Structure 1
Amino acid sequence: MKSEFNYELKPGIKVRFIQSKQFKSVQMMVSFIHELKNKRELASRTLLAGILESSSAAYPNQHAITLKLAELYGATFGANTEVEGNLNLLNFVYSFVAPEYLKAGQSLLDESIDFLNQIIFHPRMEKGMFKPEVFERQRMNLKTYIQGIVDNKQSEALVNVQRSYFDDPIQQNTPYGTETDYQELTNQDIVAAYDQMLRRDQVQITVMGDLDLDFLKHSLSKFEFQESARETLHEICYSQAVKNQVKVQTKNESVQQSKLDLIYHLPIDAHQDRMFYAAVVMNAFLGGSPQSLLFQNVREKASMAYYAESSYSSLRSMVLIQTGIQATNHDSVLTLIKEQIAALQQGDFSVEQLAKIKIELINERQRMQDSPASNLEQAVLSELLDRPLDYKTQRNGIQAVTKQDVVAAASQLKLQTEFFLKGEMANGNY
C-alpha cells in the first residue's frame, strides 16, 4: 500500500513523498531542473554533476565518500544529468537502509540529509573556483566518454540522424554535449553553472520508502536552500513543424555492418491521454518488442537485419527506427520498413496480435515495479508532466487501446529523415 504526500519546502522547491513498505531501502532523488537555453549547457551541467559527485569540502575525494557511505550501512550515491524534452535534470540519487531493518529507534535519515547537503552546498573549492585537479580530471573523463560514443557506430548513426532531423541545436546532440564543448569549457563556466543551479533552478525532491512524514519534513528542512527567484519552467515537450521534404544523408565508413536510421514525426505527446497510449502500443507493435513487425519480418523472416527496432519519444513527438544491415540490402530493408508501417496504417493485423503486444507491455511495466530506481524515475516524470504514471494508470491506458487507435496513431507517422552509415569493406566494395 502506497500513500503520497506533496508539499513545498520553499518557493520553487517541491517535495513528493511516496510512503511505502515495498522496499528495504529508502530512495531519494534531488533534481535541479532547468529549461535549456543553449547546447553548451548540456556539457556544463554534465561536468558539474561529475565534479559534485566526486568530492566536497567535507569529503575531499572519492575514497572519503566511499568510507562515509560504508559508515551509513552501505548507502549508495551518485549524480547524473538527463534530458527530458526541453528540460535538463541534474540529479543527486541516494538510497539508505529503511529504519525497520536497523536497531530499534535508529534512523539514517538525518545523517543522509547531512551527507547530501555537504555534497550539494559545500563543494571542494579553492579561491572561488573548483579545485583545478578535480575540474581537469572530470573534464578529461567526459571527453573520453564522448569520444567513446562517437566510436560506437550505432551511437554515431543515432547522433547523425538526430542532427539531420532536429531544428534545435540542443536536441541535435547527445544529452552530454560534444567533445568540442568540453575542450572549451573553463572552471569559471562551471562555477557559473553551479551558481545558476543553486539560485535559479526549480527543485524536485522525491522520496520513497517507509518513513514518518513529520520526521521527513523536519530532516528535509535542514537542506541549505536559499529563497530566490527561481525560473519558470514552460513546456517540457519539444515539438517542431513537420516537413514535406525527406532529408536523406549517406556517410561512407570502413565498417562491416551498415546502419540505417529513420526518424518519423508523430504529433502525439505525453500530455495526450488516449492517443499517448495508442502511440506506445503502436510503437511496440512496430519495433519495440520481440513480437514486433520489424523484429519478426525484417530481422527473422527476411534475415535482412542484424537488429531492427523502434522507439517512441513522447517528449519529442517522434519515432526512431534503427537497423544494422548489409550495405547491399539498403533498398530492400527500406522497402520492408515502409511495408510494416503501411500494415499498421491499414489495420493489416489481428486483434490477437494486438492483445499479445499489450500483454507484453503490461508485463514489462509490472516488472518495473520491482525496481526502486524505476519507481523513483517514474515519480519524477509524473511530477514534471503533472499526470499519473503509476502502474495501474498505465495498465488501464494500455488495455483501453483498440485496433482503431493503433491505426489512427500509425496514420500520423510521417517520414522526415533517413541516415545511412554505409559500410565499406577492405576491398573497396560496399
Structure 2
Amino acid sequence: MHFRIRDGVTLDLLPTKQFKTIGIKVDFVAPLTATAITARALLAQVLETSTAAYPTQTALARQLSRLYGASFGISVVKLGTKHVIRLTCSVVDEQYLDQFADQTPLFEQGMALLKAVLFEPLLPNGQFDPATFTQQRQNLLTAIKSLDDDKQYLANRRLQELLFTGQPAQAMSALGDTTTLGELTATDILGTYHDMLANDAIHVAVVGDVTADRVQAALESWPLTDRQLTDDSPYYRWEKRADVQAGDDVAPVVQAKLNLAYQLPIYRDDADFMAAVVFNAAFGGTPLSLLFTNVREKASLAYYASSSYNPFTGTLGVQSGIQAENQERVVAIIGEQLAAMQRGELSPELLAEVKASLLNARLAGLDSPQRKLVSLLNSELTHLTEPLKTWQEKLAAVTVADVQRVAQQVTLQATYCLHGGAQHAN
C-alpha cells in the first residue's frame, strides 16, 4: 500500500500478521554530494543520541526499555547518486505481550519517539548541545578510523578511490572523511539539519499488523511540509577508462588483500538486470561460484575470493585474501574465470544451482522485517516494483547465453593490493 503524505513525502505500508513486531523506517534522501556526506553522517550521530525530552543516551535507552525493549537507530547509506539518513525503530506488537498496562499502543509510542528525535532535538539556546556535538564528532572520527583497521574494508575503499578518481562523492565512505569532520561546527550541523527537514525526499515505511488509518493518524502530528523534488535518476553512470588503474600500499598484514574493480554497465532498470545478478552469483557471488571453486579450492591461491555487483553504480568488485607473492597469478586466474564466462562456458548444472541459491536467499529475506523495509526504498527510488512470482519467472528464464552477454560487458578498471611490504613483493 503506497500513499502520498505531502509533495515529496511518501508512505509504504506492508500490513502482515507474520511478525510479532512492527518495524518502522524513515529515510531522508538527498543528492549525493562530497561536501554534504560528512555533515549528514555527523548529524545522524547527534540526532541518535539525544532529544529535548531525553537529553542523554541513558535517558533515551531508558525510554526504549519502557517500550518493552524497542530498538532504535540511525544510519547513513550511499545508493548510487543518493545519500540516505535512515531512522529505524522496531516495537513489539503488544497483542503478543502477556501484560500490557499502557494506555497508548506501542506502535504509536514508537512513532512518537521518532517524531521527538526528528523534530524535537536537544537544542539549548537554538544550537545543538556543545557537549553532545563534541562527543559525537569524536565518536564519528573514531568510527571512521576504526573502519580502516578492517584491512579488507580499507583495501576496498582505496580501490574505490582509484576507480572514481576525480569523483569524491563516489569514492568516499558514507560516513565521510576525517579532514572535513575536523572542520565542522555545531552551526554547520544545524544548517544541515534544517536543510534535511526542508528539502530531503522522505520515505516512511511500516511493516506489521497495523492499519493504514493508524499509520496516517500517527504521521499527521509530524510537522512535514511539501518539498520540491527533482526526479533525477539514482543511477551513477560513468565512462570506462582505456587503462587499468593499479595501486598498492604496505600495511602490517600477514594476508594480502587484493581487490579488483570492473565496469558492469547494467543498472537496476535494464532488461539484463536479472542476468547480471545470475552472472555475479556464478562468477563469485556464492560458494558455488567459479572464483570460490577455482581460485580458492582448486588452485589454493586465495584464502577467500568473492564478487559483488552494485546495480546503482554499474560496478562489479572482486575481493580476495592472498599471499602477496601470488598477486600476478591470482589476477591471471580471476581473469581466466571471467574469460570462460565471456565464452559462454557455464554448465547448465552450475546455472541451475546458482538460480536455486538466489531463490532461497530471496525467500529467506521474506522472513526479515528489515529486509522488507529496505527493499521498499529501492522500489521507491527506481520506480520498480515486482511481485515475487514475476521475479521468479525472470530468474527461471535466464539462459547461459544471457549470462555470457552480461560477462562480455565486464571490463577491468582498477586493481589494488594491500600487502606486508618488500618481503612479499612480486
TM-score tier by shorter-chain length is over 0.9
Give the drift of 1:390: 5.0
**Cα distance in structure 1, aligned partners of 2:308 and 2:121:** 38
Residue by residue, what CA displacement relative to the aligned partner does 1:289-345 show, whole Å, maximum 9, x if unpaired?
A: 101100100011111011111000000001001111111101111110000001111
| DSSP-derived class of the 2:286 partner | coil
1:373 aligns with 2:370: yes
Matches within 5 A, 1:293-332: 293-332=290-329
Matches within 5 A, 1:17-416: 17-37=13-33, 39-102=34-97, 107-166=105-164, 167-227=166-226, 229-273=227-271, 275-389=272-386, 391-416=388-413
What is the TM-score normalised by the length of structure 1?
0.94
**Cα distance in structure 2, aligned partners of 1:390 and 1:173:** 34
| DSSP-derived class of the 1:151 partner | coil
Which letter maps to 2:177? Answer: T
| DSSP-derived class of the 2:83 partner | strand
Give the drift of 1:82: 0.5
Which letter maps to 2:406? Answer: A
Structure 1 unpaired stretches of 5+: none
- Does the CA-based 8 Å contact 2:324-2:425 persist in structure 1? no
**Cα distance in structure 2, aligned partners of 1:266 and 1:74:** 43
Give the drift of 1:239: 1.3
**Cα distance in structure 2, aligned partners of 1:112 and 1:256:** 47
**Cα distance in structure 1, aligned partners of 2:387 and 2:70:** 26
- Does the CA-based 8 Å contact 2:325-2:425 persist in structure 1? no
Which stretch of structure 1 is more off in the superposition, 391-400 or 64-73? 391-400
Give the drift of 1:429: 6.5
**Cα distance in structure 2, aligned partners of 1:164 and 1:100:** 53
Which letter maps to 1:13? Answer: V
| DSSP-derived class of the 1:130 partner | coil
| DSSP-derived class of the 2:148 partner | helix
Give the drift of 1:404: 0.7
Which letter maps to 1:87? Answer: K
- Does the CA-based 8 Å contact 1:294-1:337 persist in structure 2? yes
**Cα distance in structure 2, aligned partners of 1:428 and 1:106:** 64
- Does the CA-based 8 Å contact 2:343-2:404 persist in structure 1? yes
| DSSP-derived class of the 1:60 partner | coil
Which letter maps to 1:113? Answer: M
Counterpart for residue 8 of structure 1: 4
| DSSP-derived class of the 1:405 partner | helix
**Cα distance in structure 1, aligned partners of 2:150 and 2:298:** 27
**Cα distance in structure 1, aligned partners of 2:339 and 2:329:** 15
